[in-house]
């Protein structure tokens, strides 16, 4: 079969890719030009600096031509609504484990999930600061394919900063908000793909000093539970949202993540024209994905750990809503919805 040059095959399904443009696409400016003329959907093979998926069982098709035409429009979240959620969540004030505001936020989340299939993973955490009720909230959106895609993010704020004025607009607020918007996008639609489970995790933050035993209370419990009941084996991909609202958005690439999943997220970002916001730096290893990563689940942690100059807004009273932007919710939100689409088609 006659094949186009690699750089042209990067956009096999683009409606505006006329023959002359295919020649142009062989130039190094491939991505920028394609995005400018609306050639956004299509595989990004050869278009990313990241290596292609290698040794995974669910490998990409042998050639891009093997995939059936993909005419689905690129997904779009309502980024203004997501931002508004972040504003409302932040307005509760500090939401550390055991606080009244934490309970109010639980009810706020549950109110937004009325009519959805919701499950609780509730338990008591025994910590160096005493016992705390912990509650992971899980919303399930069933699909036709066997397997689960999990998206999670924490809603608690930092206990040791409870009297400092810390309200966690980005750290806790943005993750809560984007998950609520994902629920809006998934609700009431037949999922022709994997089931998607959204998890608002609790007790991500340390109560005194971050360590293996003082952190990730909710996800350590959930990973253990899902290991015992067999859920872990069904998870095709698990993606963590953390600090994704920074107006100056730079999503880090994890060292402790599945390379093929990180690459797929990058491919989704390229399709939306958002790639300049991804993977300029490597991110921190500590986050809610770790209890799943260590158990062999393919994970990715979407975190921007460069929040203000030298990350100065992180865990500081400066972490307020004015540092966030709806555009960042759009970038991450659309990229992850597109990643789900790519996962469904693998």
Output the smallest distance, CB 139 to ligand 1BN, in A: 22
- The single-letter DSSP state of residue 337 is H
Question: Among 181, 252, 263, 286, which residue interacts with ligand 1BN (rule: CB under 6 A)?
Answer: 286
Nearer to Zn ion among residue 106 and residue 205 (C-beta): 205
Residue ranges in 152-211 that form contacts with ligand 1BN under rule CB under 6 A: 171, 205, 210
210 binds, among ligand 1BN, Zn ion, none (CB under 5 to 8 A by kind): ligand 1BN
Strands 235-242 and 251-253: unpaired
Q: Which stretch of DSSP H or E encloses residue 154?
A: strand 143-154
Question: Among 106, 171, 246, 287, which residue interacts with Zn ion (rule: CB under 5 A)?
Answer: 171
DSSP string, 32-95: HHHHHTT--SS--TTT-SSPPP-S-SSPPPSSGGGSPP--PPPP---HHHHHHHHHHHHHT---
Output the smallest distance, CB 301 to ligand 1BN, in A: 9
The Cβ of residue 140 has, within 10 Å, a number of other Cβ atoms equal to 16
* By the rule CB under 6 A, 246 interacts with ligand 1BN: no
Question: Among 121, 156, 181, 242, which residue interacts with ligand 1BN (rule: CB under 6 A)?
Answer: 242
Output the smallest distance, CB 152 to Zn ion, in A: 15
Compute the radius of gyration of the chain from its Cα atoms. Answer: 20
How many angstroms separate the CA atoms of 314 and 231, rounded? 33
Output the smallest distance, CB 49 to ligand 1BN, in A: 25
The Cβ of residue 141 has, within 10 Å, a number of other Cβ atoms equal to 21
Q: Which residue is nearest to ligand 1BN (CB)?
A: 284
Point out which residues pair with 246 in neighbouring strands: 324
Q: Where do contacts with ligand 1BN occur on this chain (CB under 6 A)?
A: 171, 205, 210, 242-243, 284, 286-287
Q: Where do contacts with Zn ion occur on this chain (CB under 5 A)?
A: 171
């Amino acid at each position: 079969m006659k094949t186009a040059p690699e750089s042209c095959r990067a956009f096999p399904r683009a409606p505006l890719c006329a023959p002359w443009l295919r020649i142009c696409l062989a130039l190094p400016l491939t991505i920028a030009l394609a995005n400018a003329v609306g050639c956004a959907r299509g595989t990004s093979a050869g278009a990313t600096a990241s290596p292609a998926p290698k040794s995974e069982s669910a490998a990409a098709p042998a050639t891009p031509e093997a995939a059936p035409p993909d005419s689905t429009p690129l997904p779009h979240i309502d980024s203004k609504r997501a931002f508004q959620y972040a504003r409302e969540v932040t307005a509760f004030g500090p939401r550390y484990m055991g606080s009244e505001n934490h309970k109010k936020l639980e009810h706020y989340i549950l109110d937004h999930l009325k009519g959805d299939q919701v499950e609780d993973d509730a338990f008591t955490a025994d910590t160096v600061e005493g016992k705390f009720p912990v509650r992971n909230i899980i919303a399930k959106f069933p699909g036709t394919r066997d397997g689960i895609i999990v998206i999670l993010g924490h809603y608690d704020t930092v206990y040791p900063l409870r009297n400092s004025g810390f309200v966690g607009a980005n750290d806790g607020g943005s993750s809560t908000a984007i998950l609520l918007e994902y629920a809006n996008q998934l609700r009431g639609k037949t999922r022709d793909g994997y089931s998607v489970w959204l998890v608002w995790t609790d007790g991500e933050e340390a109560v005194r000093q971050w360590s293996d035993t003082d952190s990730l209370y909710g996800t350590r419990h959930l990973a253990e539970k899902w290991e015992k009941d067999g859920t872990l084996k069904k998870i095709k991909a698990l993606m963590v949202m953390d600090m994704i609202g920074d107006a100056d958005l730079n999503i880090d690439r994890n060292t402790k993540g599945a390379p093929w999943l990180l690459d797929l997220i990058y491919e989704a970002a390229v399709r939306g024209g958002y790639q300049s916001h991804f993977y300029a730096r490597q991110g921190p290893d500590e986050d809610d994905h770790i209890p799943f990563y260590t158990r062999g689940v393919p994970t990715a942690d979407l975190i921007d750990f460069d929040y203000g100059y030298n990350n100065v807004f992180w865990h500081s009273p400066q972490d307020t809503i004015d540092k966030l932007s709806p555009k960042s919710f759009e970038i991450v939100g659309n990229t992850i919805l597109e990643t789900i689409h790519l996962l469904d088609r693998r």
